[in-house]
């Protein structure tokens, strides 16, 4: 029996180790170092790096690509710091802890985010971390920057920002979820496949898997905001509703949203049908995502 | 006689053209598109891309690398948008126009900056723009992300931020100027040399040239804040002093600062001694920088 918990714990440990070793020497000024470190070690699930590594292994990769996988966590962490800012979501809590700007002030929080985003590309442009093909790294940088840029995460966040308090509609909520969440998750698994030199057919299937679980993940996050407990979420229940956020349950209702998430996970598993046992971690992660609500 | 004005105008036009063509289709939501475009076309001198192209040509490069050079302008523009934010320098004017957040609001301004930084790496990871070696692009991405990240521009800006109003000292002002300004300027010329497949000796000399003119450029900016006119600067004269900024004149006095800038320009020209006539644009740019104060 494949043990997902153990698998995730092992990959997570390597990610934590890389994070601890990366900022050497310490960043100057020290408040910036502390700010960057604070958010990087604030108890993230490391879903994106684990997905990247799992996809790499599913495609037959055998090297340790932890640094490149962790670069994606840098991008994710930057987005959380900036999302929480007063001029964005104005959140005081993240994973049960005060948000970065609450501890270090807005200016340093913005710079910590800027720094993490930039360092992600510095890691990805260093072929020495795992002796991989420069052309593959270039492709990974292109995927990640495309999914995180103005035609991806940044666009999704901007749409999220200007849509607050507006009447929800399907097109907008789908745009936000696809761009703000699903594209980077999909790029995470696609990056793993590219680093493993997978063929185009495999990369396409992995991308489909990533988009499907990415959308499902966000829909379930929306549902948990209504049904989950504050402790589990690390932020107050109902905070999306309070802010008038565009969410799936608001557009489709809870029952329909759950059905939609279930269907997406089925599609994700279908996309992996041509993969062998090495894709078991990816399959189990998909099943785990849907279990969060049931 | 080499005509610097004409040279700069020609390169600038190509940069402007690339900027106009890049965001196609338009970014959604449209306010983000407008915000990104507003700052990208707010009358920048395009010093960094021109330097990148001039260095590329000085090292014998013959292709049109405008897209890659313009990516550096994206990074520079992002840094200006974020620097101007209320939690940073809190500037209302930039190049004589309202700053980005004054027009589009803080949230969108932060996202426009994030988007520009990310798009820079998307451009740099697309080898099709000028059919260059992927390995050279990887090296350029490494240089630019190193110079812009926490051990470069972001660190310099953080130090600048926490040093406001403090008693100026040499070590701090040098740290700020080196990291906030000189490193990205140096990385701009270094990138040009790398793209031209220059040898290590040439790259080293180009890097030295870049650091020297970069530092001189910032020192002269400090001097112009005292001696220049508002019209020329696009922002009120004396704004550095008003904010208690760490500047060269505050630490060394004006006469000594001018001497220091002059010495740096001489060093920059010395670094190019082994280069032929193709480095004339780089030499003229160095001479132009020092002329701004005399």
Q: Residue A94 has what DSSP assignment?
A: E
Q: What is the pLDDT of residues B167-213, one digit of tens each?
A: 989 999 999 999 999 999 999 999 999 999 999 999 999 999 999 99
Q: Which of B82, B122, B154 sits opposite A149 (nearest CB)?
A: B122
Residue B233: predicted pLDDT: 60
Nearest CA among A146, A211, A223, A204 for reference residue A174: A211
CA neighbor of A93 nearest in space, from A237, A249, A293, A288 = A237
Q: Is 0.85 exceeded by the ipTM?
A: yes
- Residue-wise pLDDT tens for chain A (294 aa)? 899 999 999 999 999 999 999 999 999 999 999 999 999 999 889 999 999 999 999 999 999 999 999 999 999 999 999 999 999 999 999 999 999 999 999 999 999 999 999 999 999 999 889 889 999 999 999 999 999 999 999 999 999 999 998 998 999 999 999 999 999 999 999 999 999 999 999 999 999 999 999 999 999 999 998 987 665 566 667 788 888 888 999 999 999 999 999 999 999 999 999 999 999 999 999 999 998 765
B244-264: average pLDDT: 94
Cβ contact (<8 Å) for B115 and A150?
yes
Within an 8 Å CB–CB cutoff, is residue A234 touching chain B?
no
Please say whether the beta carbons of A65 and A56 come within 8 A: yes
Per CB-CB distance under 8 Å, the chain A contacts of B105 are 87
Residue of A nearest to B121 (CA): A145
Q: pLDDT for B70-102, tens place per residue? A: 999 999 999 999 999 999 999 999 999 999 999
pLDDT of amino acid A244? 85
Q: How many domains does chain A have?
A: 1
Q: How confident is the model at residue B292 (pLDDT cuts 50, 70, 90)?
A: confident
d(CA A176, CA A183): 10
Q: Which residues of B touch A29 (CB under 8 A)?
A: 155, 158-159, 162
The answer to whether A67 touches A21, Cβ cutoff 8 Å, is no
pLDDT of residue A16: 97
Tokens standing for A268? 């994700």
Interface test with A, best of B77, B108, B122 (most A CBs within 10 A): B122
Sign of CA dihedral B121, B122, B128, B133: positive
C-alpha distances (whole Å) from A35 to each of A29, A204, B148 are 10, 37, 17
Chain-chain contact of A23 with B150 (C-beta, under 8 angstroms): yes
Scanning B23-62 for CB atoms below 8 A from A yields: 23, 27-29, 31-33, 36
Statement: residue B218 has pLDDT above 90: yes
Are B161 and A117 inside 8 Å of each other by CB? no
Looking at the partner chain, which of B29, B118, B142 has a beta carbon nearest the beta carbon of A145? B118
Q: Find out whether B48 and B171 touch, Cβ atoms under 8 Å.
A: no
Across the interface, of A88, A105, A125, the residue whose CB is closest to B142 is A125
Position B235 scores a pLDDT of 64
Report the alpha-carbon distance of residue B81 to residue B100 in Å, rounded. 6
Determine which of A38, A118, A149 to mutate to test the interface with B (most B C-beta atoms within 10 Å).
Answer: A118
DSSP A277: G
**What are the structure tokens assigned to B288, written together?**
């132009």
Q: Are the C-beta atoms of residues A166 and A244 closer than 8 Å to each other?
A: yes
What domain range includes position B181?
A: 4-291
* Domain of residue A142, CATH code: 1.10.600.10
Token representation of residue B169? 């000292």
Nearest to A117 by CA among B77, B111, B89: B111
- Identify the residue whose tokens are 């900016």: B221
Q: What is the pLDDT of residue B141?
A: 98
Taking alpha carbons only, the member of A191, A182, A208, A210 closest to residue A65 is A191
Q: Is B167 helix (H, G, I), strand (E, B) or coil?
A: coil
Q: Residue B253, class by beta-carbon neighbours within 10 Å (0-12 exposed, 13-18 middle, 19+ buried)?
A: exposed
**Scanning the structure block, which residue is given the tokens 């985010």?**
A113
**Helix, strand, or coil here: A98?**
strand
pLDDT at A243: 85
């Amino acid at each position: 029996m494949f043990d997902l918990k153990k698998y995730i714990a092992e990959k997570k440990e390597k990610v934590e180790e890389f994070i601890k070793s990366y900022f050497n020497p310490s960043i100057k000024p020290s408040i910036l170092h502390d700010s960057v470190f604070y958010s990087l070690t604030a108890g993230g699930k490391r879903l994106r790096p684990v997905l990247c590594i799992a996809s790499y292994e599913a495609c037959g990769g055998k090297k340790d690509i932890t640094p490149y996988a962790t670069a994606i966590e840098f991008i994710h962490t930057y987005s959380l710091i900036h999302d929480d800012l007063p001029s964005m979501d104005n959140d005081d809590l993240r994973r049960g802890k005060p948000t970065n700007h609450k501890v270090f002030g807005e200016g340093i929080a913005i710079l910590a985010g800027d720094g993490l985003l930039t360092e992600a590309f510095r890691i990805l442009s260093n072929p020495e971390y795992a002796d991989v093909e420069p052309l593959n790294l270039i492709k990974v940088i292109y995927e990640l920057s495309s999914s995180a840029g103005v035609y991806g995460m940044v666009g999704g966040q901007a749409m999220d920002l200007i849509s607050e308090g507006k009447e929800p509609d399907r097109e907008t909520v789908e745009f936000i979820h696809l761009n703000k969440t699903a594209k980077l998750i999909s790029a995470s698994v696609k990056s793993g496949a590219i680093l493993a030199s997978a063929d185009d057919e495999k990369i396409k299937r992995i991308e489909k898997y990533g988009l499907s679980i990415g959308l499902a993940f966000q829909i379930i996050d929306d549902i948990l905001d209504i049904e989950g407990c504050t402790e589990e979420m690390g932020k107050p229940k109902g905070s999306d509703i309070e802010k008038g956020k565009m969410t799936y349950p608001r557009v489709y209702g809870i029952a329909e949203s759950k059905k939609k998430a279930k269907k997406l996970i089925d599609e994700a598993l279908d996309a992996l049908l041509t993969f062998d046992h090495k894709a078991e971690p990816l399959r189990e992660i998909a099943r785990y995502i849907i279990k969060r609500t049931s």
